[in-house]
Structure 1
Amino acid sequence: MSTQRINIARPAQPAFNNDPHGFGNARPMPQAYRAPANPDDPLAKLRAIAGQVEDQVEIISQPLKPHLPAIGRFLIVVTFLEDALRIMTQWGDQVWYLQKHRSFPWGISHLFLLFNIVVMLAGSGAVISKRYTEYAVAGLLSVVIIQGFGYGLIFDLTFFLRNLSVIGGLLMVFSDSMVRNKARFAGLPTLSENDRRKYFQLAGRVLLIFLFVGFILQGEWSISRVFVSIVGLAACIMVAIGFKAKWSAAFLVLLLSVFNVFVNNWWAVHSAHPQRDFLKYDFFQTLSIVGGLLLLVNMGPGGLSVDEKKKIY
């Protein structure tokens, strides 16, 4: 009897799936439908131009980018270094002014100037070397405040706005140098390092723009001044809200640098002229604000900005 091979159909066995939960599924998730951008839309054209400008800024700044933090830090403290040198070289005039016009007692005037010199030199060196930055920034902030009261300039609008911008630059230094504080206090609510840095960056970039506000409020008006003021004010607003902050800050660096060379040209004034010291002071303060903007170009606007929110949404 011949045996016949009978094939019995078996149900197909499922293939072994090494990803039972579907995490490795390459099938794209359904997305909301988006209409294609209209090439004739003015807003789309503006976005394209802004993107091209941002790319060009990135390309131009690429060779300098590794050195931007060091350059920015040095420029921020250069006004304090110049001020310390000026006090040391004009010690007699400084003492006479404080005693004659500010009614400082003899010993207090000397201690006041000595405190300023020591703190400005030590704080500037610490900022440049990136050591003890928290204490250095606190010391330099105290110098800004006590000089405002000591020299009677706290109610001078130009001085006030300029020093707000210098404080903004110091806050940018602080946010750039923040490290995690390992000392935690149990049971007390604390902000994360990223949260604190975001707030310091926000405060720093908002305060940086007050120098330009002071520039708008002073001086004689002309057509070119109106144009520069409108363009510069637009860039300042973009820096403050963090919209295209890197290239708007780069534009302000260029604008303030040109303005500083042509307007605060103290080297062209005779050494005996009283206006020379004022121009020199304004020149180095503007350099400090340029340094803060350079740190902004390097770090970006931080979490509390339009640029960062666009990445999320």
Structure 2
Amino acid sequence: MSQRIHLNPNAQRQQPMMGMQGGGYTPDPISRPSNSTSYGNGSSDDLLGKVQAYTSKIEDLIEAYTQPIRPYVPAMARFLIVVTFLEDALRILTQWSDQLWYLQKHRHFPWGLSHLFLLINVFAMLGGSLGVIGKKFPDYSVFCLLGVVVAQGLGYGLLFDLSFFLRNLSVIGGLLMVLSDSLQNKKKLFAGLPSLSETDRRKYFQLAGRILLIFLFIGFIFQGSWSFARVIVSIVGLGACIMVAVGFKAKWSATFLVVLLSVFNVFINNWWSVHSAHPQRDFLKYDFFQTLSIVGGLLLLVNIGPGGFSVDEKKKVSQV
């Protein structure tokens, strides 16, 4: 205040006259509330409110149009999650001699160990997949399939291949969503053992599952040639992945990724259009079914929600 009065000498001469004439006090213009600031905050609040209203309408439309198929979504999601394991088991059985030749010649497996490795993988994938689909011993089934992912990465020497690594992280994310869903109806663990409650375990599995699910799309962003359309899809998809990871509008963003990945899968991994003798056919087929498994994990996320460790859940708690 002292600096402002010193810089304005006219204010010093007018101030006594206002007091003598009994005039009303005029507030200092600098001390008034800034109209521009309040207007800016109002605009930001209005914009945020419009965005929230728009996304709420989209969520309502998704709820309305998916209502007829909602009872079938969990079973469909479970089947899609394990479809890559079913396809891989069928591939091993139909290409048995080729699989043995690769393991023995390139991976230097002994004769009997290569047979045993393939048999264990086939039985584990079939048993684990049927257990997930039928919801029979889901915990053991999921851990069995997780073991297959690790064993094949080591056995085929693909553990440090970036594409394989990112894709299988997403497949593991889908399996963790299955594990989280299986804990939904359980009330407690073994009596008397100090451990996390089933609710807490479910939250952690949902958090880890939805974070791992997005790694397939991250791999898509950093691989392949760039174009304007690819940049746009990558930016939009990455935004949806971040929303899934933090659990903000998770059902809406997961639904968007389901549609995006499904379209991408049909047009990019179209293995049926490649001749059966072409070596690229098997690679496209492998990518196609793995992407289906990740789509299944996202569908399960849409069905059961992002879990307790999410922005959406925190907003529900604060509103209550």
Q: Do the structures match in fold with TM over 0.5?
A: yes
1:184 and 2:190 are equivalent in the alignment: yes
SS of the residue aligned with 1:70? helix
Which one of the candidate residues 284, 288, 301 is aligned to 1:283? 288
Aligned match of 1:3 = none
1:148 and 2:153 are equivalent in the alignment: yes
The one-letter code matched in structure 1 to 2:197 is: S
Q: 1:183 and 1:203, CA in 2 relative to 1: closer, same or farther beyond 3 A? A: closer
Give the superposition deviation at 1:204.
Answer: 0.3
Distance in 2 (CA, whole Å) between partners of 1:166 and 1:50 is 29
Question: Unmatched 5+ residue regions in structure 1?
Answer: 1-36
Q: 1:133 and 1:40, CA in 2 relative to 1: closer, same or farther beyond 3 A? A: closer
SS of the residue aligned with 1:41? helix
Which residues in structure 2 correspond to 1:85-234 (within 5 Å)?
85-178=90-183, 179-180=185-186, 184-186=190-192, 188-234=193-239
1:60 and 2:65 are equivalent in the alignment: yes
1:298 and 2:303 are equivalent in the alignment: yes
Aligned match of 1:17 = none
Aligned-residue CA RMSD in angstroms?
Answer: 1.4
Give the superposition deviation at 1:185.
Answer: 4.8
Distance in 2 (CA, whole Å) between partners of 1:312 and 1:183 is 26
The one-letter code matched in structure 1 to 2:282 is: D
Distance in 1 (CA, whole Å) between partners of 2:58 and 2:127 is 40
SS of the residue aligned with 2:224? coil
Question: Unmatched 5+ residue regions in structure 2?
Answer: 1-41
1:253 and 2:274 are equivalent in the alignment: no
**Amino-acid identity (%):** 72
Which one of the candidate residues 220, 236, 240 is aligned to 1:235? 240
Give the superposition deviation at 1:182.
Answer: 5.2
Superposed CA offset, 1:259-278 (max 9, x none): 00000000000000000000
Superposed CA offset, 1:59-109 (max 9, x none): 121111111100000000000000000000000000000000000000000
Distance in 2 (CA, whole Å) between partners of 1:48 and 1:310 is 15
Aligned match of 1:4 = none
Contact preservation (8 Å) 2:237, 2:257: yes
Distance in 2 (CA, whole Å) between partners of 1:248 and 1:95 is 43
Contact preservation (8 Å) 1:76, 1:291: yes
Superposed CA offset, 1:34-55 (max 9, x none): xxx8798221111111111111
Give the superposition deviation at 1:180.
Answer: 2.6
Superposed CA offset, 1:182-236 (max 9, x none): 55353x4321211110000000000000000000010000000000000000000
Contact preservation (8 Å) 1:246, 1:300: yes
Q: Which has the higher helix share?
A: 2
Superposed CA offset, 1:237-294 (max 9, x none): 0000000000100000000000000000000000000000000000000000000000
Contact preservation (8 Å) 1:39, 1:45: no
**Which TM-score applies when normalising by structure 1?**
0.86
Aligned match of 1:31 = none
The one-letter code matched in structure 1 to 2:56 is: G
Contact preservation (8 Å) 1:38, 1:44: no
After superposing on structure 2, the runs of 4+ consecutive aligned residues of structure 1 that deviate more than 4 Å are: 37-40
Distance in 1 (CA, whole Å) between partners of 2:179 and 2:106 is 35
* Count of residues in Structure 1 that have an aligned counterpart in Structure 2: 276
Superposed CA offset, 1:141-197 (max 9, x none): 0000000010000000000000000000000011111143655353x4321211110
**Which TM-score applies when normalising by structure 2?**
0.84
1:73 and 2:78 are equivalent in the alignment: yes
Distance in 2 (CA, whole Å) between partners of 1:183 and 1:205 is 24
The one-letter code matched in structure 2 to 1:276 is: R
